Amino acid sequence: MRFQKTTEYAIRVMVFLASYPEQRFSVNVLHKKLNIPYKYLGRLMHTLSQTGMVEVEQGKHGGYKVNSNLDKIYLYQVIGAVEGLENYDRCILGFPECSDENPCPLHKAWLERREAIKEMIYNTTLADLTVNTQ
Amino acid sequence: MRFQKTTEYAIRVMVFLASYPEQRFSVNVLHKKLNIPYKYLGRLMHTLSQTGMVEVEQGKHGGYKVNSNLDKIYLYQVIGAVEGLENYDRCILGFPECSDENPCPLHKAWLERREAIKEMIYNTTLADLTVNTQ
DNA sequence: ACTTTATTCTACCTACGTATGGTATATTTA
DNA sequence: TAAATATACCATACGTAGGTAGAATAAAGT
């Protein structure tokens, strides 16, 4: 019961970028600041840039910068961009036929907790998550 | 954010066995009833038997049977036997230095939800999870 | 204008863990 | 002895994580 590493990386990067919304960072700098493997991060940033959550500039002095609309970028979007959101509507025991009408024995208990997590990721924006460590 | 498949399998099996606490089942029967790959399930059952949560009998007409103390077998034990419990005390962003004193920006929100999940797995026993589909 | 430099982008390649299957052997008991 | 099952070991598939190499891009230096 945990995020994929890639998802952790993605949220870490986005939180960092959101903390310096005017600045542009190269992959190399992000790699050093956030302790994420350089090449892996490169591909991740490319993926994130394609969703529009970060803006990219190529060439010398290029790099990545968060999209200015911090309060429009939700955690669920970051998670959805990397590991998807299927798990948040899934039976915890993997029963395909599990539903409110035909519940598995953990259905209700898990539903409540899962909804609390969804409430978190669907209501938290990057504007809520800035962190200044400078 | 999900269980490993193996963890799902383990809980499925334990819930099934707990529903027929007097009966002994062969791997082959469990495999067919629960739609879990035969060979994989064999090893999983062996693992589970070593924790004492299920009792094993070999030979013709042998098989697995849940330990009779249904109300003493907690969900966290089943989860711990397969994928471990480390993730339930882990920073959601993977910051090693994250703590109550030095929280990551998601610390408090995640802590509350994570504790709700822990509350579930530490308070639910197999006695709460029987299901009769016969 | 040409070259160098710093950067992203793209396409493979490697490592590793989880999930799964195959085959052989050991154990029990009808 | 034979059938049913457990146990052990080896092989395969697959997804995630991480690395290598070079092409494309764009700025800066000459």
Q: Which of A90, A129, A131 sits opposite B2 (nearest CB)?
A: A90
**How many domains would you assign to chain A?**
1
Nucleotide with the nearest C1' to A58 CA: C8
Identify the residue whose Cα has the smallest distance to the C1' of D3. B60
In a domain, A59, yes or no: yes
CB B105 within 8 A of CB A23: no
What's the distance, CA B130 to chain centroid?
A: 14
Tell me if chain A has a CB within 8 Å of the CB of B88: yes
Q: Establish if A25 belongs to a structural domain.
A: yes
In this prediction, residues B89-98 reach a mean pLDDT of: 88
Residue A115 belongs to some domain of the structure: yes
Q: Is residue A133 part of a domain?
A: no
Domain that holds residue A83: 5-128
Spatial distance between the Cα atoms of B25 and B16, rounded to a whole number of angstroms: 10
Q: With respect to residue A134, please indicate whether it lies within any of the assigned structural domains.
A: no
At B66 the three-state DSSP class reads strand
Tell whether B5 is within 8 A of chain A (Cβ): yes
Bases along strand C below 7 A from a protein CB: 5-11, 18-23, 27-30
Closest CA–CA distance from residue B28 to any residue of chain A (Å): 19
In a domain? residue B79: yes
| Residue B134 domain flag | no
Tokens of B28: 């082959």
pLDDT digits (tens), chain A, 134 positions? 899 999 999 999 999 999 999 999 999 999 999 999 999 999 999 999 999 999 999 999 999 999 999 999 999 999 999 999 999 999 988 888 899 999 999 999 999 999 999 999 999 999 999 876 54
Across chain B, what does the average pLDDT equal? 91
Is B10 within a domain?
Answer: yes
Please report, for the domain that includes residue B101, its CATH number: 1.10.10.10
Question: What burial letters (b/e) apply to A12-49, b meaning 16+ CB within 10 Å?
Answer: bbbbbbbbeeeebbebeebbeebebeeeebbebbeebb
B37-61 pLDDT, tens digit each: 999 999 999 999 989 899 998 888 8
